[in-house]
Amino acid sequence: MSDEKEWQETKFQRKALQVTDAQARLMAQAKRLEPQSVPLMESCGRYLAEDINAPHPFPAFNRSAMDGYALIAADTAECSGGSVVWLEVIDNIPCGAVPSQVIGSGQAARIMTGAQVPEGADTVIMLEVTETRQTDGLTYVGIRKPQKSGNSITPLGLELRQGDDLLPKGRLISAGEIAVLAAFGVHSVQVYRRPKVAIVATGTELLEVHEPLQPGKIRNSNSPMLEVLVREAGGEPVMLDAIVDDLELARSRVQMALDAYDLVITTGGVSVGDYDIMGDLVREHSVEMLFNKVSMRPGSVTTAALRGGKLLLALSGNPGACFVGFQLFGGPVVKEMQGAEQPYLPQWTARLGSDYNKVNNYTRFVRAKLVIKDGSVWAFPADIDESSVTVTIKDSDCLIVVPPEEKGLAAGARIQVIKLPGEIRG
Amino acid sequence: MSDEKEWQETKFQRKALQVTDAQARLMAQAKRLEPQSVPLMESCGRYLAEDINAPHPFPAFNRSAMDGYALIAADTAECSGGSVVWLEVIDNIPCGAVPSQVIGSGQAARIMTGAQVPEGADTVIMLEVTETRQTDGLTYVGIRKPQKSGNSITPLGLELRQGDDLLPKGRLISAGEIAVLAAFGVHSVQVYRRPKVAIVATGTELLEVHEPLQPGKIRNSNSPMLEVLVREAGGEPVMLDAIVDDLELARSRVQMALDAYDLVITTGGVSVGDYDIMGDLVREHSVEMLFNKVSMRPGSVTTAALRGGKLLLALSGNPGACFVGFQLFGGPVVKEMQGAEQPYLPQWTARLGSDYNKVNNYTRFVRAKLVIKDGSVWAFPADIDESSVTVTIKDSDCLIVVPPEEKGLAAGARIQVIKLPGEIRG
């Protein structure tokens, strides 16, 4: 066998892993980054590094749910058919104040929504159904209907008792989490550090976005796309200059990036051809190759390796394959490093919106639009479905998972979809 | 009628609008802000202020989809059962290069994935199924099977022809949009300015997040929550100090905020009680009240007004009502000011996951969890459903719309849900 022949064999005979196996191999090496304390508002979009329990009951006091009068329900038992019970108003409790009096039989306190219900009182009647009168310098409130004990009072601890689970470790912090953390006075929050993710495109054909088009060349759209996707997954993208197809240059650039950052994502240079520089790089001795072929379309050449404890994820240079590769591998790693409770994208059962006939012996991830119709989830495959396609990325909110060896899928078929990040536009 | 009585009548006899009417009244006053040019990467998360058409075909040249050889399909017609056709390799075309030769009959060019297919060639054969030999200093590629014209070539303009619609005005720019804008060299993008949204909480009962709990008081969780929600909707939140229940102070603070910012959102001070300072404010002559009661629970006191061309949205101080009010009114206004094509949250048909029996004469917006199961959308109402509740906000990804006068809804019932921003966790 000639040297050329042997070299070709090594390059072509890659062992393809199933997607889930490749994911597992990658995720096993994704190290959770160190926790750090950040001010509450900076914790938004990050993942909790601690379980949080309620530091006090919530509400912390019996709270009036109405503007009205706090009183003893039993005092109103004798209201009926027009007869009015009159109670002496002995206190006025605005929000934020502490009641100054205990309510006894025949007494009531004017109270605001959100204010602390005074001791003695066991119900609040809304202002709109009461009347008042002044007699001898005293104020009385008149009530025409019997009231039930507990009405319009939110009791201490209704939402949470002290020590109850509030938020679990790994939880993504968003508006609702910010609200409860603020309500409990958690002004400093333990979250995992965001990974710094170096992004490097390879390819002699790449132009910068601002450069005019040149024959045979294309603009580098993968780097800007990955910058957004990394940020969306919670990472801090670090944009490195694109590198031409040169193994020496790629090796030194990738090594420096692996030393300086938490994760390196490259695009391009993973084909089986002459310029498989990332492929060559992960075959070197200093590098532990995790996989260099995955049983999937697009992106079968997706490659991952470990060097000095740092992960290198080499995605295809085809925009569609780069996008799918990031969603299946890159996003989960970036989230895992931040301790996310759910690093993978959600997978749903759905129904196929229109026939899909492209098949092959690898699992295919088909970009598609989701539509929720009459309570059912439908997925419509993109018109053009090739790994190189850029324009359908923007119109896709899921990936249809087409198993290998399918004979083609008819509209209405039950399918699995991977929900992509972002809102469903359908 | 006493002064007190008359004052009470004015306060209580608010005319309730239906939610959609209130939304329409508010949105009619939400002015689209001015377009501005921003660098591509800063356009992410913003809304396009122009229609964008493809400035050139995409791909801009016939592109090889494989590493292999470009050749003329007809030349391989006579391959069959082991007989090999040998073609002279006259060029080597890496990515980004321009072919130097026109391919004639009997000739081929080595070509990389993504490179420009040379003139004359009409198909590309993958490297893995070819062999090569050297004779008299010339290289030949051997092919064993007839090839079809057009194989492994992505033709010029396959994705888009020059002038085709690329992205419409009003489109939210995310990873996929960034990818196509980059691919077409759009390095500067016209987007609408983000509104500056002043957020003011009112209430004497409010503590700052870092303050220790005090009897009868609560921490201000609405302001931090709104800060996140406004940012999520694309606005720039401007946090103003909370104001105590004082009409004079509120008036001057709100007026200054309306002068300085694009929109003012307040929470609290809209009850029917003694401290209805926002309610009092919108009844003043300098202010055009748009509505001060909406036929909804929670948040029936939600109030909106116009002053000097600027909008004031006064939300309830109850955290749950504040949240719902923002989602129904605040978010849509903030997005409308940015020219969003879809300012309202999506509404889906779904099935009710468990019985819901609370009814009243207003439309109720019930916080709920979505679960996608066997291709169907299910919504499970939160256990505690009161306007004052804070903890269920974090666990909700939709609002179930319960029409007024329903007799209660059984599990499995068809319902309408409003999808809240963010990923479905179920």
Residue by residue, DSSP assigns B198-267 as EEEEB-TTEE-TTSPP-TT-EE--HHHHHHHHHHHTT-EEEEPPPB-S-HHHHHHHHHHHHHHSSEEEEE
C-alpha distance from residue A337 to each of A86, A98, A101, A170, A194 (Å): 65, 47, 55, 11, 8
pLDDT for residue A7? 46
| Residue A167 with chain B: CB contacts under 8 Å | 394
Within chain B, which residue ranges are assigned CATH 3.40.980.10? 3-33+193-337
B311, amino acid identity: L
Cα distance from B77 to chain A (closest Cα, Å)?
25
Phi and psi at B125, nearest 5°, equal -105, 140
Q: Which tokens sit at B139?
A: 């290289």
Q: Tell whether B39 lies on the interface with A, counting CB pairs under 8 A.
A: no
How far apart (Å, rounded) are the C-alpha atoms in residues B327 and B325?
Answer: 5
Q: Where in chain B is the domain with CATH 2.40.340.10?
A: 347-419
Report CB contact under 8 Å: A228, B275.
Answer: no
Does the distance separating the beta carbons of B205 and A115 come in below 8 Å? yes
Burial A197-222 (b: 16+ CB within 10 A, else e): bbbbbbbbbbbebeeeeeebbbbbbb
Closest by CA to B323, choosing from B178, B421, B209, B216, is B421
Neighbours of B122 (CB within 10 A): 20
Buried b (16+ CB within 10 A) or exposed e, A287-322: bebbbbbbbbbbbbbbbbbbbeebbbbbbbbbbbbb
Stretch(es) of chain B classified as CATH 3.90.105.10? 36-58+158-192
Q: Look at B375 and A377 and tell me if their CB atoms are within 8 Å.
A: yes
- Amino acid type, A195: P
Contacts of A221 (CB under 8 A, 6+ apart): A209, A319, A390, B178, B179, B180, B182, B183
As a CATH number, domain B3-33+193-337 is: 3.40.980.10
Q: In chain A, what residues touch B212 (CB-CB under 8 Å)?
A: 185
Q: Which of A14, A134, A390 to probe the B interface (max B CBs under 10 A)?
A: A390
Chain B 243-302, CB below 8 Å of chain A: which residues? 245, 271-275
pLDDT(B1) > 70: no
At the second CATH level, the architecture of B36-58+158-192 is: Alpha-Beta Complex (3.90)
Point out the residue among A67, A215, A229 whose CB comes nearest to the CB of B116.
A215
Over 90: is that where the pLDDT of B41 sits? yes
A96 → closest Cβ in B203, B229, B424: B203
Q: Quick check: bond before A298 cis, omega within 30?
A: yes
pLDDT number for residue B243:
87
β-sheet with B68-71: strand ranges across: B123-126, B68-71, B107-111, B85-93, B138-143, B131-135
Burial B196-212 (b: 16+ CB within 10 A, else e): bbbbbbbbbbbbebeee
Give yes or no for a contact between A198 and A265, defined as CB atoms under 8 angstroms apart.
yes
Residue partners of A202: CB distance under 8 A and separation at least 6: A242, A243, A244, A245, A250, A266, A267, A268, A269, A277, A278, A317
Please determine, for residue B407, whether its predicted confidence score (pLDDT) is greater than 90: no
Using 50, 70 and 90 to split pLDDT, how confident is the model at B113?
A: confident
User: CATH 3.90.105.10 occupies which residues in chain A?
Assistant: 36-56+169-192
* Spatial separation of the C-alpha atoms in residues B401 and B404, rounded to whole Å: 9
Report pLDDT digits (tens) over B256-269.
Answer: 999 999 999 999 98
Answer whether A355's CB lies under 8 Å from A411's CB: yes
For every one of its 426 residues, what pLDDT tens digit does chain A have, with 9 covering 90 and above?
Answer: 344 455 444 555 578 999 999 999 999 999 999 999 999 999 999 999 999 999 999 999 999 998 999 999 999 998 877 789 999 999 999 989 999 999 999 999 999 988 999 999 999 999 999 999 999 999 999 999 999 999 999 999 999 999 999 999 999 999 999 999 999 999 999 999 999 999 999 988 999 999 999 999 999 999 999 999 999 999 999 999 988 878 888 889 999 999 999 999 999 988 666 567 888 888 888 899 999 999 999 999 999 999 999 999 999 999 999 999 999 999 999 999 999 999 999 999 999 999 998 877 899 999 999 999 999 999 999 987 777 788 899 999 999 999 987 678 999 999 999 999 999 986
Residues 117-136, chain B, touching A (beta carbon < 8 A): 127-128, 132
Angle of helix A222-232 versus helix B175-183 axis, rounded to 10: 170
Give per-residue pLDDT as tens, B246-297: 888 888 999 999 999 999 999 998 866 556 788 888 888 889 999 999 999 9
What pLDDT, on a 0 to 100 scale, did the predictor assign at position A13? 59
Task: Please give the helix or strand (H or E) that residue B361 lies within, else none.
Answer: none
Give contacts of B 304-323 with A, CB under 8 A.
317-319, 323
Q: How many angstroms away from the CA of B140 is the closest CA of chain A?
A: 14
Chain B contact present for A372, CB below 8 A = yes
B425: contact with A, CB 8 A cutoff: yes
Chain A: closest CA distance from residue B325 (Å): 14
Size of interface A-B (CB pairs under 8 A): 332
**Token pair belonging to B40:** 């591509």
Judged against a pLDDT cut of 70, whether residue B420 lies above it is answered with yes
Give the nearest chain B residue to A152 (CA atoms).
Answer: B386
Say how far apart CA A216 and CA A194 lie, in whole Å.
Answer: 38
Q: Which of B178, B275, B419 to mutate to test the interface with A (most CBs of A within 10 A)?
A: B178
Q: If phi over 0 gives left and psi between -120 and 50 gives alpha, with beta otherwise, what is residue A366?
A: beta
Are B375 and A186 within 8 A, CB to CB?
no
Contact with chain A for residue B137, Cβ under 8 A: no
- At B122-171, the pLDDT tens digits run 999 999 999 999 999 999 999 999 999 999 999 999 999 999 999 999 99
Q: Which two tokens stand for residue A340?
A: 């996310």
User: Do residue A185 and residue B215 have CB atoms under 8 angstroms apart?
Assistant: no
Search chain B and give the residue with CA nearest A188. Answer: B210
The residue to which tokens 């026109």 are assigned: B102
Which residue blocks in A124-246 are alpha helix, DSSP H? Answer: 175-183, 222-232
Q: Is the pLDDT of residue B343 over 50?
A: yes
CATH architecture of the region B63-154: Beta Complex (2.170)
Q: Which chain B residue shows the shortest CA-CA distance from A176?
A: B394
The C-alpha atoms of residue B101 and residue B120 are separated, in whole angstroms, by: 9
Q: Which two tokens stand for residue A250?
A: 């790629």
DSSP state of A245: S
Is the pLDDT reported for residue B406 higher than 80?
Answer: no
Helix, strand counts (H, E) of chain B: 8, 26
A114 vs B166, B205, B346: nearest CB: B205
Give the separation between CA A201 and CA B256, rounded to whole angstroms. 50
Q: How far apart are CA A289 and CA A294, in angstroms?
A: 13
Beta carbons of B83 and B184 less than 8 angstroms apart: no
The answer to whether the beta carbons of residues A76 and A146 sit under 8 Å apart is yes
Q: Distance (Å, rounded) from C-alpha A383 to C-alpha A364? A: 15
In terms of CA atoms, which chain B residue is nearest residue A213? B185
Q: What architecture (CATH level 2) is domain B347-419? A: Beta Barrel (2.40)
Q: Which residues contact A161 (CB under 8 A, 6 or more apart)?
A: A54, A57
CA angle A130, A131, A137 (to 5 degrees): 130
Sequence-separated (6 or more) residues with CB below 8 Å from residue B13? none
Q: If we measure between CA atoms, which residue out of A366, A369, A362 comes closest to residue A399?
A: A366
Among A175, A177, A209, the residue with its CB nearest the CB of B229 is A175
Q: What is the DSSP letter of A178?
A: H
* Identity of the residue in A96, A204, A318 whose CB atom sits nearest the CB atom of B204: A96
Contact predicate A201/A266, CB 8 Å: yes
Query: Are B301 and B317 spatial neighbours (Cβ–Cβ below 8 Å)?
Result: no
**A222 CA to chain B: closest CA distance, Å?**
7
pLDDT(B417) > 80:
yes
Residue A117: list chain B partners with CB under 8 A: none
Which pLDDT band holds residue B20 (cuts at 50, 70, 90)?
very high
Residue of A nearest to B99 (CA): A216
Asked if A205's CB is within 8 angstroms of B394's CB, the reply is: no
**Beta-strand relationship, B123-126 and B165-167:** unpaired
Residues 187..246 of A with a Cβ closer than 8 Å to B: which? 187, 203-207, 209-213, 215-225, 227-229, 231-232, 245
B423 shares contact with chain A (CB less than 8 Å) = yes
Q: Nearest chain A Cα to B272, which residue?
A: A67
The answer to whether the CB atoms of A394 and B61 lie below 8 A apart is no
A44–B217: do the CB atoms touch at under 8 Å?
Answer: no
Identity of the amino acid at B196:
K
Domain A36-56+169-192 sits in CATH at: 3.90.105.10
Please report the residues numbered 65 through 104 in chain B whose beta carbons come closer than 8 angstroms to any beta carbon of chain A.
65, 67-68, 94-99
- Quick one: which H or E segment has residue B20? helix B19-27
CB contact under 8 A, A273 and B67: yes
- Count the Cβ atoms, other than its own, within 10 Å of residue A410: 11
pLDDT of B173: 98
Pairing of the two strands A303-307 and A288-291: antiparallel
**What pLDDT shows up at residue A9?**
47
Contact B275 A376 (CB under 8 A): no
Instruction: For residue B79, give both structure tokens.
Output: 């391959």
Contact B41 A227 (CB under 8 A): yes
Nearest to A41 by CA among B228, B239, B327, B391: B228
Q: Which candidate from A209, A389, A422 shows the least CB-CB separation from B174? A: A422
List all residues 6 or more positions away from B384 whose beta carbon is below 8 Å from its beta carbon. A158, A159, B391, B392
Q: Which two tokens stand for residue B383?
A: 């256990």
**Which residue(s) pair with A369 in the sheet?**
A380
Give how far Cα B149 sits from Cα of A243, B74, B121, B153, B260, Å: 34, 8, 9, 9, 66
Contact B229, B263 (CB under 8 A): no
Closest CA to A124 of B326, B271, B410: B271
Closest CB to A224: pick one of B182, B342, B393.
B182
Indicate yes or no: CB of B187 within 8 angstroms of CB of A175. no
Sign of CA dihedral B115, A327, B375, A415: positive
